C-alpha cells in the first residue's frame, strides 16, 4: 500500500520527525508532562519507540500510559483524513509556523489548519478577544464592535469559537470581511459548539480554523485549557470582554501575561458579576482598561503607529476663551441683557477689561449685543 502524501505546508528534511509529531498529537494530551519529559530526553522520534515499549526507568516512568492509544494509532489514516477534509499540518520549521508559538513552555507538536489564511502572516498583527460564554447583550456588542474595529485596522482577530464573547468576536471580524482565526479544543473537522457550525464554515472559507489535536478528536475540559495558551501565544495581545471571577477566559489572560504580551480588559457595570473578573484584573493592575478599538490598537499595536486619539468631551465655543473673557461670559444672562457697567461690577473687572472681553466674545460667536444689553448667544 502506498503511503499517503504528507499534507505538510512545506517539504521537511525529516519525514520521520513529522510522522512522529502527528503520532504524539494523537496519543498524548497537549501538555502531558510525561510525554514532554520523554521527548526532552530521547527526542521526538525515539521517544515514540520508548513509549511503545512502556519502559519504567526514571525518564520513562509512566510511559505505559500511552500503550492503549498506541494500539489504535494509525498515522497514515490521520494523514489521509487530513487531506480528505482539505486541512493541512503546520509543523515547527515549516514556513507557516509562527515563531510566537516557540515562546510557550509546551508548544504544540503540530497544528491542523483549515482555511486560506497563512498562519504566520495572519498572526504578525493580531489580537485575541475572549470572554464569558454566558455573556450579556452589552458584552456581545462590545466584543463585536472591538473585533470589527480591529479587523478594519488590519488586525487578525483570534478567539476560541465558543458561545458568548468568542462567537461575537469572530462575527465582528467576519462582518467587515476581516481576518479571524478560531482555535478549537477538538479536531478541525468538528464544529463545536454545533450551533456555531455556520460561523465556523464561514471562518474556514475566509479565515483559519486551527487545532493541536488531530481530526476527529473530541472536545475535553483539559483541551480547552490547553487551547487557551495557544490563543494567548498566537496573538500580539489579549483583551478580556466580560468574565466572572471563575471564568476560564481569565486563564488566557494569564497565559498572555506570562508570555509578556500586553493584556487589556473591558469594564462593565460594577453590579455585573459577569464583569467581576475584568474588574479584578484591572484593579490589581494585571490588565489595562480598554473601552474601544482605538485603545485596543494602542495597547497591542506598533508603538507610534497605533496611538489612540486623546478622548475629549464635547467641544464648545467657550472652551478656548481666555480667563477674562470666560469670566465675563459666565455672568452673561441668557435673556434680558446686561449693561457693561453691571457686567463690570458683577465680574469684578475694570470697564476696559469688560469691553475688551465682550469684543472677543462677540467675535467668538458666544455673546451678542441686545437692545437691553449683552446676552449669551443662543439665549
Task: Look at residue 142 and tell me if it is in a domain.
Answer: yes
Same-domain check for residues 125 and 160:
yes
**How far is 284 from 273, CA to CA, in rounded Å?**
17
Residues 110 and 25: beta-carbon distance below 8 Å: yes
Domain membership of residue 291 (yes or no) is yes
- 274 & 334 share domain: no
pLDDT at 51: 86
Is residue 106, in this structure, part of any structural domain at all? Answer: no
Domain termination residue (choose one: 255, 272, 300): 300
Indicate whether 325 belongs to any domain: yes
Say yes or no: 167 and 260 in one domain.
yes
Residue range 320-330: average pLDDT?
88
pLDDT at 63 over 70: no
One domain, residues 174 and 246: yes
CATH number for the domain spanning 335: value is 1.10.10.10
- The pLDDT of residue 317: 72
Q: What's the total number of domains in the chain?
A: 3
Of 300, 327, 353, the residue at which a domain comes to its end is: 300
Closest CA to 288 of 266, 304, 269, 303: 266
Q: Is 307 a domain residue?
A: no
Q: Is residue 97's pLDDT more than 90?
A: yes
In this prediction, residue 66 has a pLDDT band, given cuts at 50, 70 and 90, of confident
pLDDT digits over 245-288, tens only? Answer: 999 899 999 999 999 999 999 999 999 999 999 999 999 999 99
Q: Is the pLDDT of residue 2 over 50?
A: no
Q: What CATH number is given to the structural domain containing 219?
A: 3.40.50.450
> What pLDDT is recorded for position 1?
36
Boundary (domain end) residue, out of 99, 134, 159: 99
Residues 249 and 347 placed together within one structural domain of the fold: no
Domain check: are 288 and 335 in the same one? no
Sign of the torsion angle spanned by Cα atoms 301, 305, 306, 312: positive
Q: Are residues 73 and 166 in the same domain?
A: no
Q: Which of 82, 92, 144, 151 is nearest to 119 (CA)?
A: 92
Report residue 275: phi and psi, to 5°: -105, 0
Which of 63-72, 95-104, 107-116, 152-161 comes out lowest in average pLDDT?
A: 63-72
Are both 65 and 193 inside the same structural domain? Answer: no
Domain that holds residue 325: 317-376
The answer on 343 and 223 residing in a single domain is no
Statement to judge: residues 84 and 141 lie in one domain:
no
Q: Are residues 143 and 190 in the same domain?
A: yes
110 within domain boundaries: no
For residue 4, being part of any structural domain is answered with no
Decide: residue 56, CB within 10 A, 0-12 exposed, 13-18 middle, 19+ buried.
Answer: exposed
Mean pLDDT computed over 160-166:
97
Radius of gyration of the chain (CA): 30
Amino acid at each position: 500500500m502506498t503511503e499517503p502524501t504528507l499534507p505538510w505546508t512545506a517539504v521537511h528534511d525529516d519525514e520521520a520527525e513529522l510522522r512522529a509529531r502527528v503520532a504524539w498529537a494523537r496519543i498524548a494530551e497537549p501538555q502531558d508532562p510525561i510525554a514532554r519529559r520523554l521527548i526532552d530526553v530521547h527526542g521526538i522520534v525515539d521517544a515514540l519507540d520508548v513509549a511503545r515499549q512502556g519502559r519504567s526507568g526514571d525518564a520513562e516512568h509512566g510511559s505505559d500510559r500511552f500503550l492503549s492509544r498506541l494500539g489504535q494509532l494509525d498515522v497514515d489514516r490521520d494523514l489521509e483524513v487530513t487531506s480528505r477534509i482539505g486541512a493541512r499540518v503546520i509543523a515547527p520549521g515549516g514556513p507557516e509556523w509562527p515563531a510566537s508559538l516557540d515562546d510557550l513552555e509546551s508548544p504544540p507538536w503540530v497544528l491542523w489548519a483549515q482555511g486560506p489564511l497563512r498562519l504566520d502572516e495572519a498572526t504578525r498583527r493580531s489580537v485575541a478577544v475572549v470572554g464569558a460564554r454566558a455573556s450579556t447583550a452589552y458584552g456581545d456588542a462590545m466584543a463585536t464592535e472591538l473585533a470589527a474595529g480591529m479587523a478594519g485596522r488590519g488586525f487578525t482577530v483570534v478567539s476560541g469559537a465558543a458561545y458568548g464573547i468568542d462567537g461575537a468576536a469572530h462575527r465582528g471580524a467576519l462582518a467587515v470581511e476581516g481576518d479571524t482565526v478560531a482555535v478549537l479544543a477538538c479536531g478541525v473537522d468538528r464544529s463545536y459548539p454545533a450551533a456555531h457550525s455556520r460561523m465556523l464554515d464561514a471562518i474556514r472559507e475566509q479565515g483559519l480554523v486551527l487545532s493541536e489535536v488531530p481530526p476527529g478528536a473530541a472536545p475535553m475540559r483539559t483541551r480547552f485549557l490547553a487551547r487557551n495558551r495557544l490563543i494567548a501565544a498566537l496573538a500580539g495581545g489579549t483583551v478580556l470582554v466580560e468574565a466572572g471571577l471563575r471564568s476560564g477566559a481569565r486563564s488566557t489572560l494569564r497565559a498572555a501575561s506570562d508570555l509578556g504580551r500586553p493584556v487589556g480588559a473591558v469594564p462593565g457595570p460594577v453590579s455585573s458579576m459577569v464583569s467581576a473578573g475584568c474588574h479584578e484584573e484591572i484593579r490589581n493592575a494585571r490588565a489595562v482598561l480598554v473601552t474601544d478599538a482605538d485603545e485596543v490598537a494602542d495597547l497591542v499595536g506598533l508603538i507610534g503607529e497605533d496611538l489612540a486619539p486623546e478622548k475629549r468631551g464635547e467641544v464648545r465655543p467657550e472652551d478656548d476663551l481666555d480667563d477674562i473673557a470666560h469670566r465675563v461670559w459666565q455672568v452673561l444672562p441668557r435673556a434680558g441683557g446686561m449693561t457693561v457697567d453691571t457686567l463690570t461690577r458683577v465680574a469684578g473687572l475694570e470697564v476696559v477689561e469688560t469691553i475688551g472681553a465682550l469684543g472677543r466674545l462677540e467675535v467668538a460667536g458666544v455673546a451678542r449685543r441686545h437692545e437691553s444689553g449683552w446676552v449669551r448667544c443662543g439665549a
